[in-house]
Amino acid sequence: MNRIVKNRSVIPKSRLLVILLGFPIISSIISLLLLRRDLLTFKQVDFFSVFWGIIIVWYLVQIVIIKRILNSSCLSFNDIGYRFNKKETLYFILGYLIFAFILFGVIEYLLASIDITSTKLNSLSDFSNLTPKTSLQRFIFIIAGLVAGISEEFVYRGFAINGLENHNINKWSAILIAAIPFVFQHGLKSLDQFWWFFITGIIMGLIYVVSKRKLYINIIIHWLVILSAMLAILQVL
């Protein structure tokens, strides 16, 4: 039976811990594929496209799991700060896609106007830099960015911060605690970019709290940060 605090259901500690520990662990395991790219490299589809396809599925699974846990505690996305209805959500997603594909078009136009050598492209290639280098990769990256921005904000801001607070942890401590699993959500990249992700997690947590838990603001900022990675390809211009 769920505990009730201030007339609201509370996520059981066990489920909260499973999410905050389990999601980063699974994400880290998936990221190990970066060390064995040959396993996901095929004649017609490159590693990047397959890898980010797996990431897209994993982020969608996270959203479904969070939704089910909330529902089991008589809660909804509205209770963690996401208050858009289905129609508003559709417009929200369409807004992202329109912006992202305009950016995609601009990048494609700029790249088509110059000659880029494979050497320059390979200079962007290492396990911590997953800059999309082809049109297909950039297309898949846009979809991955869509679900990643929503999923990570649902999990590590809305779900985690509220869940921790409901177990008598003050909001500032909740922001710090939630930022730690957010770091390891990024798998191998967290090894050499720990502080970047940790500070980003804290800043996003602060934005969430200061904005009176309007989760759509976090999602928009998160989307912009993700899409900025596509601009890294312009380094070769």
Query: Residue 78: in which H helix or E strand, if any?
Result: none
* Distance between first and last Cα of the chain: 60
| Lowest-confidence pick of 30-34, 91-95, 129-133 | 129-133
pLDDT higher than 50, residue 16:
yes
Domain segments of the chain: what residues? 9-36+43-236
Q: pLDDT-based confidence at 129, cuts 50/70/90?
A: low
Which alpha helices (H) appear in the chain, and where do they start and end? 13-31, 47-72, 86-112, 118-122, 135-153, 160-165, 171-184, 189-192, 194-210, 215-227
pLDDT higher than 70, residue 70:
yes
pLDDT higher than 90, residue 80:
yes
What pLDDT does 116 receive? 57
pLDDT tens-digit readout, 84-121: 999 999 999 999 999 999 999 998 888 887 765 554 55
pLDDT tens-digit readout, 167-200: 999 999 999 999 999 999 999 888 889 999 999 9
| Lowest-confidence pick of 34-43, 198-207, 209-218, 222-231 | 34-43
pLDDT higher than 90, residue 15:
yes
Residue partners of 192: CB distance under 8 A and separation at least 6: 128
Q: pLDDT-based confidence at 67, cuts 50/70/90?
A: very high
What pLDDT does 44 receive? 73
* Mean pLDDT computed over every residue of the chain: 88
pLDDT higher than 90, residue 10:
no
What pLDDT does 4 receive? 36
**pLDDT over 90, % of the chain:** 67
